[in-house]
Amino acid sequence: MRVLVDTSAWIEFLNGTRSAHADAVEALLRGDDEPCTCGIVVSEVFQGLRKDATRGLIEQSFRDMPFLEPADIDVYLRAAEVYRKLRERGVTIRSTVDCLIAAIAEESGCALLARDRDLDAVLASGIVKVRPWPAATE
């Protein structure tokens, strides 16, 4: 299975934070599932890197991952639709970026690994057909 890893999970892992999400990234990297990335995640991760000494190694790792690129405008329209539908339900997502990441995962048929309350709300809503990774039953 392909898994889009959100910035929030990468940051926990790259900063060496002891957490379930950092452990999940490590398990993903060592397991049979395939970590993926996208442009927004790359930008967010690299703007927050603190240690220049490891930047080149991390960059090569990201270059080696499948890169998910929205096929066309429909992904952006889908992200806006997700945002609107959640707002209609009384749930306000703080960043359109989270809706876009979920829409990219949906379009690509990926699961999503994130440590983000807004992405949790998007996934729990059932509006997007994306499952969290690891699944609760794993």
Looking at residue 79, which CATH number applies to its domain? 3.40.50.1010
Whether 103 is in a domain gets the answer yes
pTM of the model: 0.93
What is the Cα–Cα distance from 77 to 75, expressed in whole angstroms? 5
Whether 131 is in a domain gets the answer no
Highest mean pLDDT (candidates 16-20, 48-52, 61-65): 61-65
Over residues 45-58, the pLDDT tens digits come to 999 887 777 899 99
For residue 25, pLDDT over 50 is answered with yes
pLDDT score for 136: 55
Whether 58 is in a domain gets the answer yes
**What's the mean pLDDT in 104-123?**
97
- Which residue range forms the structural domain that includes residue 68? 2-125
Q: How many domains does the chain have?
A: 1
What is the Cα–Cα distance from 114 to 132, expressed in whole angstroms? 8
pLDDT score for 81: 98
Whether 136 is in a domain gets the answer no
